Structure 1
Amino acid sequence: MTRRSRGREVALQVLYQLEQNSGVMTTDVRRFIDRRLLRDRPLVEFTTGLIEGVRGNQPQIDDAIKQVAENWRLDRMAAIDRNILRLGAFEILHHPEVPAKVAINEALELAKRYSTAQSSRFVNGILDKVLQLQDPAPRSDAEAGSEADPDVAVESPAAAEAEVAPPAPIGEGPAA
């Protein structure tokens, strides 16, 4: 597992925890992240950025998921799948430096590890449609800049550039 994959895994655990128990203290979340990532400062910052980004952009992310999730209401999805989708959609919509294929593959790996056998297909279908919302005309590998994530080699298009909204600090984002 790459370092960033580990960071995404911890981000998913925190997002799930915050959704299930919105009363979790910011200090407890930070302690959990530090402990799980062995105080690797760059990785802690990456992970914290993912969490704050998802929480700070959650209404837009949820709207994108709702728009493409045919016959599925967000509140009826399994909580773990919902948070995997949020994490993947955040990277697709707000991190153009991360190739979309990387964001989707990372989400699929999380679904395989933490959810049911069918979840990876579900996550793949939803995130592929989110990507199509973002970038309806796929670009070539050269245009995609597929070397953006140093931990993963990619051979497919990246998401279109998007303006990144500043993340809300952990504990101050919208309630899940």
Structure 2
Amino acid sequence: MSFQPHTRCREIVLQVLYMLDHNTGLSQEEIEQFLAWRLREPSWRDEARGLIEGVRRHRETIDQVISDLARNWRLDRMAAIDRNVLRLGTYEVLYRLDVPVAVAITEAVELVKRFGSAQSSRFVNGILGRVPHVEGDFPRRRQAAGGPSAVVSNDQAGTAKELGDGSASSPTAVSEE
């Protein structure tokens, strides 16, 4: 199956988030080994690393947003795939200005269609569709309000970096061989 590079990175990020959910003792070295095994291109690994670190850094806030939007569903009662797709999608919607909201939601829905249950796509789509309207001091909300925004991109080390002056460049484009 042929994948777009960003789609492939998200798939691998989902796998890492899933592993972290089930093994909180997973080391950075083990994550790096997994990324090297699953993603050949260094730029793909940089992108994946940036997404993983962004979700991890903002996980408490992301989990609260998901919990607030998932009426009658506790986070710990959600299927692990659904929960981690929601984490990734919520991170991209709220913090990644270089990813259009519609793209982040569509990619998340496609991921959960592939790895989740038959009902997962409707569940994920319903929650992520409300994420852009969440109140809070998020880069995308600041951008929409016309205020100073933080741009999240991948720096040379491959970790997500938030800049208050909006001068960050877009993540490195990647291509699959």
The TM tier, using the shorter chain, reads 0.7 to 0.9
Q: Is the 8 A contact 1:107 1:123 kept in 2?
A: yes
Which residue among 7, 10, 33 is the counterpart of 1:8? 10
1:23 deviation in Å? Answer: 1.5
- Confirm or deny that 1:131 pairs with 2:153: no
> Match of 1:73?
74
- Confirm or deny that 1:36 pairs with 2:38: yes
Runs of 4 or more, structure 1, over 4 Å off, are: 164-167
Give the Cα separation in 1 of the matches to 2:124 and 2:132. 12
Give the Cα separation in 2 of the matches to 1:31 and 1:24. 11
Give the Cα separation in 1 of the matches to 2:75 and 2:150. 25
1:132 deviation in Å? Answer: 2.1
User: TM-score with structure 2 length normalisation?
Assistant: 0.76
Give the Cα separation in 1 of the matches to 2:69 and 2:116. 20
> Match of 1:101?
102
**For each residue in 1:65-92, what CA deviation from the matched residue of structure 2 results, as whole angstroms up to 9, or x when unmatched?**
1111111111111111000000000000
Counting only pairs closer than 5 Å after superposition, residues 1-176 of structure 1 correspond to structure 2 as 1-38=3-40, 40-133=41-134, 160=141, 161=143, 163=150
> Match of 1:147?
none
**For each residue in 1:101-122, what CA deviation from the matched residue of structure 2 results, as whole angstroms up to 9, or x when unmatched?**
0000110111011010110000
Q: 1:134 to 1:108 in 2, by over 3 A?
A: farther
> Match of 1:153?
none
Unaligned runs of 5+ in 1: 136-158, 170-176
Q: Is the 8 A contact 1:53 1:166 kept in 2?
A: no
User: TM-score with structure 1 length normalisation?
Assistant: 0.76
1:166 deviation in Å? Answer: 9.8
Q: Is the 8 A contact 2:97 2:152 kept in 1?
A: no
Residue 121 of structure 1 aligns with an amino acid whose one-letter code is R
Q: Is the 8 A contact 2:96 2:152 kept in 1?
A: no
Q: 1:110 to 1:134 in 2, by over 3 A?
A: farther
Over the aligned positions, Cα root-mean-square deviation in angstroms equals 2.2
> Match of 1:152?
none
Unaligned runs of 5+ in 2: 144-148, 158-177
> Match of 2:173?
none
> How many residues are matched?
144
Greater strand share, structure number: 2
